[in-house]
Amino acid sequence: MELQLTPIDVVENISKKDFIKKYYKKQKPVIVKQYSKNWPAYTKWNLEYIKKVAGDKKVPLYDDRPVDPKAKFNSPHAYMQMDEYVDLLKREPTKYRIFLWNILKEIPLLQKDFKYPDLGISFIKRLPTLFFGGYDSYTFMHYDIDLANIFHFHFEGKKECILFDQQQTEHLYKIPNSLMSHRGIDFSNPDLEEWPALKNAQGYIAQLEHGDMLYIPEGYWHYMKYITPGFSMSLRSLAKSPKNISHALYNLLIMVPVENIMRKTMGQKWIDWKNNKAKHKTNSTNTVALE
């Protein structure tokens, strides 16, 4: 048995009216092929260009190592200069990824190369962010702290995306006091004997290519696997549902400070407790999958 994944709708173009009616209001993901074809970024943005405009920047890198109990929530695992990082991406597989790199702060010049989509919703203009990954690297299954609507534009190469809505959370081995699934799960090829509750989860899957835009609705879980080295830009729009807004406030005001205190005081014991709890709690509330 495999994960229950439905292909994400793919359209060649979309009007404002259709986007709002068929996807935004229904909170359903969609891919618009080649959405960025009329932006300067479509022809300019590739890894060589990023090396040219940001080669001297020191960039924070993340890999798939277990959580370090001494590190604060979301702290990077290493730093490298961008030109060295691009060379590494092109030369060999690497697990190092760049996550949530703020364009306005780091390379404001890139702002001229894209436009905020005219899709009938307003965007948070101060937070365009970039994500980079090497061949076969992946971003763990997670959802974002602000449960925003995300518009994800891919450049150079191919990427696989797996999404789940918030109602699937009980099947996803969520780590307590975090925004992540258990890191032991390989969502591209999950071991359903070890993680049986995943059989109950219903999600979506798609591949993105250069120029494509993926709409990720509010609070959706997402896992991204870089099939080839490449990068993406996410633009965000605030969550609208009161439930998601209060969830976002809880994350920022309670979850993160509690996590930092617990890591500082309990260290590895806290991380081990959370990992065990995720596994046992999810298995015990998913008895159907275990039969």
Give residues in contact with ligand AKG (CB under 6 A): 97, 131, 133, 139, 144, 150, 152, 222, 224, 232, 234
Is the Cβ of residue 152 or residue 274 nearer to ligand AKG in the bound state? 152
Q: Shortest Cβ distance from residue 216 to ligand AKG (Å)? A: 7
Q: How far is the CB of 243 from ligand AKG (least distance, A)?
A: 20
Smallest distance from ligand AKG to CB 20, Å: 21
The CA distance from 249 to 82, in Å, is: 33
H/E element holding 28? none
Q: 249: which 2 tokens?
A: 């406030």
Task: Name the pairing type of β-strands 4-7 and 202-209.
Answer: parallel
3-state secondary structure 91-129: HCCCCCEEEEEEHHHHCHHHHHHCCCCCCCCCCCCCCCE
- What are the strands, taking DSSP E only, across 135-289? 138-142, 149-155, 158-164, 202-209, 213-216, 221-226, 230-237
Q: What does the alpha-carbon distance between residue 51 and residue 272 come to, in Å, rounded to a whole number?
A: 39
Alpha-carbon distances of 46 from 90, 166, 206, 241, rounded to whole Å: 11, 33, 21, 36
Least spacing, CB of residue 166 vs ligand AKG, in Å:
15
Query: Toward ligand AKG, which CB reaches closer, 51 or 154?
Result: 154
**Residue 132 or 270: which CB sits closer to ligand AKG?**
132
Angstrom distances, CA of residue 144 to CA of 14, 140, 214, 217: 25, 12, 15, 11
- How many other C-beta atoms can be found within 10 angstroms of the C-beta atom of residue 38? 9
Tell me whether residue 168 or residue 234 sits nearer to ligand AKG (CB atom): 234
144 or 212, CB closer to ligand AKG?
A: 144
CB of 194 to ligand AKG, least distance (A): 24
Q: Please, what is the minimum distance in Å from the beta carbon of residue 234 to ligand AKG? A: 4
In the complex, what is the shortest distance from the CB of residue 96 to ligand AKG, in angstroms, rounded to a whole number?
A: 12
Q: Are 234 and 151 in contact (CB under 8 A)?
A: yes
Cβ proximity to ligand AKG: between 133 and 217 the closer is 133
First-last CA distance in the chain = 14
Of 97 and 263, which has the nearer Cβ to ligand AKG? Answer: 97
